[in-house]
Amino acid sequence: MKKKNLLVKPFVKWAGGKRQLLEDIEYFLPKGIKNYYEPFVGGGAVFLSMQFKNTTINDFNSELTNAYMVVKNNVEELIEVLRMHQNNNSSDYYYSVRAWDRNYEIDKKTDIERAARFIYLNKTGFNGLFRVNSQGQINVPYGSYKNPAIVNEDILRADSRYLNENNIKILNGDYAEALKGVQRGDFVYLDPPYAPVSEDKNSFVGYTLNGFGFEEQQRLLSIFDELTKKGVYAMMSNSSVPAIHDLYKKYAKTTAIVGATRNINSKSSGRNKVDEVIVMNYNYKNNEIIKD
């Protein structure tokens, strides 16, 4: 296996990111992966850690996928704009940049400027959240960090090299559309917005404007079943809650429970170690996809 570049890692913070679970995920990977799909890529902790040569990533968040494209195609120009944001960073400046999607300035900006805005707001906003209001406008407050790492040139350049030196396809749309090209023997990692662990209205359970409710979780299960029937290796991460265990009960023998600490609530009580599930449609020991 090709040696990994340890500088290749996420260039944004992401709620629900998988950095804590990388060892668990890698342990359960199927063997002999040739084509990798990640249709809920988010911050890309898994994809950027595994560094497969043939990869398709997707996200419904167009600002995020634009940032990936700019890191790939215009990394030096991106770094220059991020340096400007770093030099000007303050609470007032943050809110003036955040307001671009309120005063229609964002429609006049280049892809590079939009990507730099996205990364800047991510690095300086509260808890690294991406959250929008009912109008689709970012509404995360300023984070008041003393010295936020707004521009990490080494990581950005390493990510850009990886994206350019390998066969990486970047898509923006519905996760099911991103999986239309999968074939027998390919591997799909699914990291959807998690099922809520409580009914607390402050719980952060979705990243898109419309959220990801129980009906979407059911739809995801049907796609997971379709992948199984096609002979595609599939792995999914989610909350370890009764609703998810019930949905995926046919995969109970190939489900693992792992622990992670999550910072997705403004209350300190919401920053606890929680159980998560890794559901697989294959036996990781013998590499065989399970049969109905």
Domains 19-60+173-289 and 66-153 share a fold: no
Question: How many angstroms separate the most distant Cα atoms in the chain?
Answer: 58
- Give the fold, CATH level 3, of 19-60+173-289: Rossmann fold (3.40.50)
The model's confidence at residue 199, banded by pLDDT at 50, 70 and 90, is low
* pLDDT over 80 at 131, yes or no: yes
Share of the chain above pLDDT 70, in %: 90
* pLDDT over 50 at 65, yes or no: yes
If you average pLDDT over residues 172-186, what whole number do you get? 97
* pLDDT over 90 at 235, yes or no: yes
DSSP H helices, the chain, are: 22-27, 45-50, 62-73, 75-88, 91-98, 111-124, 153-165, 175-178, 214-230, 242-247
Helix, strand or coil for residue 53?
coil
The model's confidence at residue 207, banded by pLDDT at 50, 70 and 90, is very low
CB distance 267 to 218 below 8 Å: no
In angstroms, the CA 122 to CA 178 distance is 25
Question: Where do we find the tokens 């959250």?
Answer: 131
Q: Is 180 exposed, middle or buried (0-12, 13-18, 19+ CB in 10 A)?
A: exposed
Annotated binding-site residues for S-adenosyl-L-methionine read 14, 18, 59, 191
CATH of domain 66-153: 1.10.1020.10
Q: How many residues does the chain have?
A: 292
If you average pLDDT over residues 101-123, what whole number do you get? 97
233-239, strands of its sheet edge to edge: 167-172, 54-59, 36-38, 187-190, 233-239, 273-280, 255-261
Domain spans of the chain, in order of start = 19-60+173-289, 66-153
pLDDT tens digits, residue range 26-57? 999 999 999 999 999 999 999 999 999 999 99
Annotated binding-site residues read 14, 18, 59, 191
